[in-house]
Amino acid sequence: MSDKLDGQPQGRDECSKTGASEPVSWQLEQIVGELRAARTEWRANTGRARDLGSRELPSRQALECIFSELSGALFPMRLGPSNLSLESEDFYVGHTLNNALNSLLGQVRLELRYAARQRGEPEDGSDADAVRIVRDFAAALPQIRRLLDSDVTAAYAGDPAARSVDEVLLCYPGILAVIHHRLAHHLYSAGLPLLARIGSEIAHSATGIDIHPGAQIGHSFFIDHGTGVVIGETAIIGNRVRIYQAVTLGAKRFTADETGQLHKGRARHPIVEDDVVIYAGATILGRITIGQGSTIGGNVWLTRSIPPGSNITQASLQHQVKSE
């Protein structure tokens, strides 16, 4: 007989365990009523008073499962189940992908319907669009796997402490963040910014590496150590780029319209060309270009473009300021 309560979300058993030996009155009736009133006020104030009778937005919990299953399907003998054998590898991949894609379809439908409601449009065409998007996503998985292979290889080649590509895949937080980014970027490009952002934020929470799903990143990308890395939405990163912990590729300023509302979607983050290395703590801001083959030293603050082959350090910047 199941010991789960009817209607209780799966995966919440540990959160629901009783801590007190004797029941305590928390005056829940009053609190529940006040919370209901707060929700009603918020929905009315934000124009969301319509009762849909079901879930309105995608689920972070569902996306955590989907991204985990997709990671296992991409790297079954490393990120799949511990008892998997080569003999059953294809069966596991097919079964896991079927589950993940069907679950993803449900989440895509939720986002498309939500977006249609926000625009005041009918939701009728959302289901057909959702199927098309998920089919395209599934067809892109082999190419995403090959991109990730280049990232894993770059990490192994770029870190003398790495003993094997298997160690890189199993242990390096930068690889986990990049796996999520490659998947999330495809969703973002397909017009699913909310699902993509949730997927990226799951990795951000686990690794401390914050890559916006809109960022464009070339092959053989390596983030070493990684904690505190921030890569903004409109950043463009070329091939064979290596960055270290606490690097920021951010915006220099945020422009607003006459009402004070921030402009959305404008290019405001750096372009980093091929074969660039950016060392720990560097902050690079604005729509500037870091030329091919350049090296940016630790803790450098940079707000101007630099030509290919540059070697920028704190000392060189201080010397330039004094010369000017």
Interatomic CA distance for residues 280 and 302, integer angstroms: 13
Whether 114 is in a domain gets the answer yes
Q: Do 131 and 91 share a structural domain?
A: yes
The pTM (predicted TM-score) of the whole model is 0.86
Looking at the fold, whether 284 and 183 belong to one and the same domain comes out as no
Strand partners, 60: none
pLDDT tens string for the chain (324 positions)?
444 443 444 455 555 565 666 888 889 999 999 999 998 998 888 776 565 666 789 999 999 999 999 999 999 999 999 999 999 999 999 999 999 999 999 999 999 999 998 888 887 778 899 999 999 999 999 999 999 999 999 999 999 999 999 999 999 999 999 999 999 999 999 999 999 999 999 999 999 999 999 999 999 999 999 999 999 999 999 999 999 999 999 999 777 777 777 777 789 999 999 999 999 999 999 999 999 999 999 999 999 999 999 999 987 776 564 555
For 249, the token pair is 């590729």
- My answer on whether 168 and 283 are in the same domain is no
Any domain includes 36: no
Q: Does residue 194 sit in the same domain as residue 238?
A: no
Tokens for 121? 């449009």
Residues 234 and 164 in one domain: no
Q: Edge to edge, what strands does the sheet with 271-272 contain?
A: 216-217, 236-237, 271-272, 289-290
Q: How many domains does the chain have?
A: 2
Same domain, 179 and 309: no
Same domain, 153 and 274: no
Do 232 and 165 fall within a single domain?
A: no
Distance CA 10, CA 106 (A): 17
Tokens encoding 221: 């990308």
Q: Which helix (H) or strand (E) holds 44?
A: helix 28-45
Give the strand pairing for 283-285 and 295-296. Answer: unpaired
| Pairing mode, strands 283-285 and 236-237 | unpaired
Q: Which domain holds residue 158?
A: 57-209
Cβ atoms < 10 Å from Cβ of 186: 20
The answer to whether residue 274 is domain-embedded is yes
Give the span between the Cα atoms of 122 and 59, in whole angstroms. 22
The amino acid present at 158, given as its one-letter code, is G
CATH of the domain at 289: 2.160.10.10
Cβ atoms within 10 Å of 21's Cβ, excluding its own: 5
Three-class HEC string of 110-135: HHHHHHHHHHCCCCCCHHHHHHHHHH
